[in-house]
Amino acid sequence: MSDDHGTTAGPEAGGDEVDRPTHWFHVPRQRRRWPWVAMWIAIVLVGAGAGLAVASYQLLGDTLDTASPNTAAVQAAQQAVDPDVPGEPVNILLIGSDQRSGALGVDTRGRSDSLILIRMDGDRGFISMLSFPRDLYVNVPGMGMSKINAAYAFGGPAMTIATIKALTGQPIHYFVNIDFKGFVTLVDQVGGVYLDVDRRYFHENIEGDGIDDYDEIDLQPGYQRLKGADALDYVRYRHTDSDFARIARQQAFLSELKRQTNRFGNLPEIPAYASIFANNIVTNIRSVPRLLGIMEQVITTDKDRIARNSISGRGAHLNGASIVEMSQSEVDAKVDAWLNPEFVQGAATAVVSRNDIQVMVRNGNGRLLEAETATDQLRRKGYDAASDGNAPSFGVPETLVAYADGQREAAKNIALLFGSRAVLAALPRSQTREGVDVRVTVGESYTGSLVTPRKKKAEPKPRAYVVDTRSLVPLVQRIQKATGLKVMVPTRVPSGSALKIVRAYRVNTGGEGPKALKMVFRVSYGSYWGYQVIDWADPPLLEGRTGVVTSGGRQYSTFYDGRNLMRLAWQKDGVTYWISNTLDYALSDETMYAIAKSARPLNRVTLRPGAQPVDIPIEQDAYTP
């Protein structure tokens, strides 16, 4: 990637602040563009595969032959997957590990570092992803309770597939086992990737200190070009982060990698990408036409039809080890969100009479005749309900309302009758009895009576939670004088903000890149937002904008992840500015706009009428755990 940058001035800033509608901005669909795929193997699979298909159908076939070796591990995994039924959604399990299990016929297994279940639903036109924390404590079939990443060590991809199927109740048609060491080769092959690093990442192992060793990392904050080794450190870092933060970093990095790797269409480089692809994955996808079909859906799916879900759970300790706990009902709810992403919920459905909905009720709490009681109550509500005896086991905490295909809306109405703690989930086809539309498993949360659903209250109008401050002005004045970088300074920041890191630098190594400034603010422990200034009119990051909003005489580029505003950018005099949200999207849209609108050149710094400025804590090189 070239380090050259333009000097064309951006839109003129200025003007009074103007209130904007408090809704998120929907971006018009953009056809035939790469989707926002949040895992590097999808980029390799789709990007390299598309280029290879153009260059040589045979080369693509040879690449798949290498990536699908006829080894014991691959044969076992092939037996564990489900048949791919034409016309039905396709589920693909991505396994990130340090070993291509069985690739060379040698059973060398580590533990899976990342697990993502992808659903490609062609009929409804979406791709949905479900990520699993590596420390999730689950039942590994035949091995008992253990961390989910241990399944790979116990039995390679086959055991991992069996574990995910048992946990989710969903079929898996294909798997892709990724060796993350190939990640370094891929990133170096494309020349590195520009990324906005949210904070300082540093860890150094000290021999003999009695503390567990982690992968070492030394990465400064700010927009920069990461090469392979640093990129791998960034996406895998977990020393002081949660699994959720690690997943968010991976998604952020891979979004930029996808956008910046147009070189897959460069025919002279295709054999190199084919080699990376073949030597760093193992998969049971052996059909070139099937692979091309998968690629077609990935390419043609709009990025606003790609859903991301993750199982978070609760941290706990067991025998001195950290684990993540989550009840099966919570897992079922996440699976339901994965099957029915928000953008497809609420669609118009045919009105169905209650007496046409067949409901089977089971006792999951062990209390006498609870299933019969709930059955009678549902009948009085007009449902065709019948008792189905006891569930396979008692102790079910929340009432579970599971629905057959096409009956989600009916199940939602039934779940409301069992209170706010009732869990909605899809009924696996293997457990769907002929003619049954909804199955209710009465849990311990059932009080013996149904409830009357309350009318939904109108949500309060979102507001910006910011404070006025002049604390940043003297600091920015010194930076501008020392570097010559033109800097607009924000005079409003989120409540509770503390400036932790100030970095004035050149974007690329050698001191020849654009001048830049990165300020990292903490709003709570481990949660950071950023203010970036860069003397570069067209950084690659801007190519990923999802919309443009004009307000107060200034034009803003928006970067949404679904309904979450990740970044808000604007330009003045060839300098690009942006505000980056925290990894957990702690800042509301209104808060981010308030920060941006308050940014003024140093010679025009004024506070709004009636402002009561506060001093914010300022450090310039603090530890950011």
SS (H, E, C) 45-84: HHHHHHHHHHHCHHHHHHHHHHHCCCCHHHHHHHHHCCCC
Spatial neighbors of 62 by CB under 8 A, at least 6 apart, are: 274, 278
Instruction: Give the closest residue to 565 by CA, choosing from 153, 27, 11.
Output: 27
pLDDT of residue 572: 93
Return contacts of 226-230, CB within 8 angstroms, 24+ apart. 226/187, 226/192, 226/193, 226/194, 226/195, 226/197, 226/253, 227/187, 227/188, 227/192, 228/183, 228/184, 228/185, 228/186, 228/187, 228/188, 228/192, 229/184
Tens digits of residue pLDDT in 195-219: 899 999 988 777 765 555 667 888 9
DSSP, res 277:
H
Domains of the chain: 40-190+261-343 (3.30.420.590), 348-442 (3.30.70.2390), 466-604 (3.30.200.100)
C-beta separation of 500 from 526 below 8 A: no
User: Would you say the C-alpha torsion 215, 220, 223, 224 has a positive or negative sign?
Assistant: negative
Instruction: Give me the helices (H) in 349-407, please.
Output: 370-380
Say whether 556 sits in a helix, a strand or coil. strand
| Residue indicated by tokens 């998604």 | 251
Residue 181's Cβ-count burial label (10 Å; 0-12, 13-18, 19+) is middle
Spatial neighbors of 306 by CB under 8 A, at least 6 apart, are: 35, 36, 37, 38, 126, 127, 128, 129
β partners of residue 577? 533, 570
pLDDT of residue 270: 56
Indicate the length of the chain as a whole number.
Answer: 625
Residue 578's Cβ-count burial label (10 Å; 0-12, 13-18, 19+) is buried
Instruction: Work out the number of other CB atoms within 10 angstroms of the CB of residue 559.
Output: 21
Instruction: Give the closest residue to 160 by CA, choosing from 177, 135, 183, 179.
Output: 177
pLDDT of residue 168: 93
Tens digits of residue pLDDT in 1-54: 334 333 333 333 333 333 333 333 333 333 222 223 334 444 444 444 444 444
Separation between Cα atoms, residue 103 and residue 279, nearest integer Å? 9
pLDDT of residue 211: 54
Spatial neighbors of 503 by CB under 8 A, at least 6 apart, are: 220, 221, 222, 517, 518, 519, 520
C-beta separation of 91 from 119 below 8 A: yes
pLDDT of residue 367: 92
C-beta separation of 78 from 25 below 8 A: no
pLDDT of residue 560: 82
Characterize the bridge pairing of strands 492-494 and 466-468. antiparallel
Torsion of CA 276, 281, 287, 289, to 10 degrees: -50
pLDDT of residue 606: 87
Instruction: Give me the helices (H) in 301-443, please.
Output: 328-339, 370-380, 408-417
C-beta separation of 245 from 32 below 8 A: no
Tell me the CA distances in angstroms from 368 to 362, 375, 392, one per residue in order.
12, 13, 15
Spatial neighbors of 460 by CB under 8 A, at least 6 apart, are: none
What are 393's two structure tokens?
């086991």
C-beta separation of 607 from 468 below 8 A: yes
Q: 41's torsion region: left (phi>0), alpha (psi -120 to 50) or beta?
A: alpha
pLDDT of residue 481: 95
User: Would you say the C-alpha torsion 59, 63, 69, 70 has a positive or negative sign?
Assistant: negative
Q: Enter the pTM of the model.
A: 0.66
Q: Extract the residue ranges of the chain whose pLDDT is less than 70.
A: 1-61, 63, 97-113, 123, 180-182, 208-214, 238-244, 247, 251, 254-255, 258-274, 276-278, 292, 295-296, 298-304, 342-352, 428-432, 455-459, 509-511, 562
Separation between Cα atoms, residue 104 and residue 278, nearest integer Å? 12
Instruction: Work out the number of other CB atoms within 10 angstroms of the CB of residue 320.
Output: 5
